[in-house]
Structure formats: C-alpha cells, structure tokens
Amino acid sequence: MSIKYGFIAVAAVALTATAAVLVQKNVNWQDILTARSLPETSQSVQESPSEAFSSELASVPDKEFSAGGESQTSGQSETEEASKTPVQTEEEWQLILVNSDHAIDQSFKPELSEVQNGYLMDKRVVGNAQRMIQDAREQGVELLVCSGYRSYESQQQHFDSSVQSLKNSGYTEAAAIASTQQLIARPGTSEHQTGLALDIVTPSYQGLDDGYAETDAAKWLLKHAAEYGFILRYPKDKEEITKISFEPWHYRYVGKQAATEIMEEGICLEEYFEK
C-alpha cells in the first residue's frame, strides 16, 4: 500500500517554494493459521506494561491490494524478511490485515484488557466482545473464549513445539513444518498478536474442529457477530484466498461497518480490501 504524507512548503522572501517528497513503502508477508493457546493473563500486563497501539507497527492495505501466495520456508527468518508500514489512518486500526503476505512486527503489542476468564484482547474492543457474550447468554447461548491475544514469543513457542513433536514422530523437518502450518500460524503472522481476534467455543463443545460449526454457539455467532463488529475470519469456501482452513471458532474485530458489509456479502477480509 502507499502511505502519503502531506507536502510541506517553506516560503522565503522573493524566493520560490519547495515541496516535500512522497514516501512509499511496500510490505511482504508470510502465511497464517490460528491455534488455541494458554491465555496471556491480565497479571502479565501488570508485570510488563503494554505499549500503546503504534502506527509505526501495523499495516492496513488499501482495497486494491491482493493477497499473494503461500511461503514455503520456515521460522523467524521469514518474518524478518517482511517489511512493515504504518497504518493508513487512526480510524483504520481495526482493519489491520495479518496473513501470509502481511506480517506484524515482533515488538507489536496493543494495550490489553481482560475479555473473559483471563484471556486478553485490545482494550478498545473488549466492550464489544463482552456485550456480544452477554447478549448471547440472554438468548440462551453460552460463548466461551478459549484464546485471545498471543505474543510473538508465545506463537514462536507453539510453532516450534509442534514442529519438534512431529519430527520426534518421524517427520522430516520440511514435512513437520508443512503440517504445523495447517494448524498454527508462524510467529509474526497470527491475528492473535493484534489483540483483535478471539477463538470462541461453547462449554458443551470445546473442540476446535468442523463439528463446532453445528453448535448453537457457532450458528449464533455467524448470524449476530457483525452487530458487534466481528466477522468469521476464515470461511469454509474462502480457503484458497485466506490460505487458512475453515475455522468456525475464529472471530476477528473489524468494526461494525466493515463487518456488516463482509458478512452480508459473504466475502473474506482479503476480498474486502480488493474491492
């Protein structure tokens, strides 16, 4: 995407004006998958004060950008290859795109607050998520958050642990990495690091599998999540675009206007930016 800064003119008596230059940065990224993890607790926020959402650490593509292909190499080196660009405007912080082509800086961390049972998310979104959970409960549906914000380091541990476990089972390193990518996002490519994504199940069905889509909780979310600014991030029929398997439990905050448009049109976030 292109980030345009305003022109600055400095005039002198009897002299002509000069203009500032236009700066443009491009972003390359990696593939992304989500996985359940232990919560980053509210206590950890007290021990390590969270940084404010920095416009220098996030990326929001313009709607002409199209997602690229899936990366084949592994580990932190891939994330380091991706360049980062600032958000376009303060109002678009909720539209940050994190996927195989759009990485997030290792140091990125939003201001966090607890949403449910020790799980954290961006404090600007907590109110919406809690209202959604409460409204569902009043309608007889129990929503249970099983993952929220995850740090880069936590994601790295999950990814490495899965790769090592598969290698111990006889997989080659390449095969272990490929299999892990089907379940766990590479560090720097997980939406959970943005603090805007939640994995939501229900007490009676906590499995992260396709069967969850048949529960009352999943059906309620599919119908009502947009009213609170959330979208089903990885729909079943958009896997070739998102590069992510169907995840009926993974919901992402994008704001009510964008969420309504995305859910009503049956598109994914990548397609929203391509419009």
Catalytic residue list: 247
Residue 257 three-state SS:
helix
What b/e sequence results for 158-196 when a residue is b if at least 16 CB atoms lie within 10 Å of its CB, and e otherwise?
Answer: bbbebbeebeeeebeeeebbebbbeebbbbbbbbbbbbb
* Residue 213: how many other CB atoms lie within 10 Å: 17
Whole-angstrom CA distances from 227 to 49, 148, 261, 267 are 31, 20, 11, 16
SS3 string, 168-221, reads HCCCCHHHHHHHHCCCCCCCCCCHHHHCCEEEEEECCECCCCHHHHHCHHHHHH
Distance CA 64, CA 191 (A): 21
